[in-house]
A and B are shown apart, each in its own frame.
Chain A
């Protein structure tokens, strides 16, 4: 079973700053089967990125994903007020497994 860890646990930013969120896998993620989700309080998660770097439909281009093997990242360039949320990475290709999440909050 691939275990995902995310860092940092919390990231405090001001609007307009850029953010880089990290996701590390306990073993190599095949075919870059890695997705990122955004969840705001009281809402269901929303798919942002799949295949490590492909943006889902309707996702702004300020969100970008990168990485391969065991190290992946989600970058938010110029954070907007609506981007403050919890972000989860998740691997698939077998039983899906989520990381513990990174909370992005307002500084």
Chain B
């Protein structure tokens, strides 16, 4: 079972920042937080991951609270192509441990 809770859907205006929340209150000390997104009829796309520090890459920023019980994925300037289902997943860094997907958040970017 997924160990994260996300809102089922969100809307965001094109050009604005999209802030997607995720609760992972039972996260253990060595579990990482991963974010993926799935555009319709495609495989999931890796976005970003982190352990406790905030992370930023060319796609997004990941803000993890100090107690690590929640995080926020930020898409700084959302475009129509960012419309997708976004998954927040926690995982222990062990080679055989798979990503377990919950229901995610369906983000709709509106023109």
* A and B associate: no
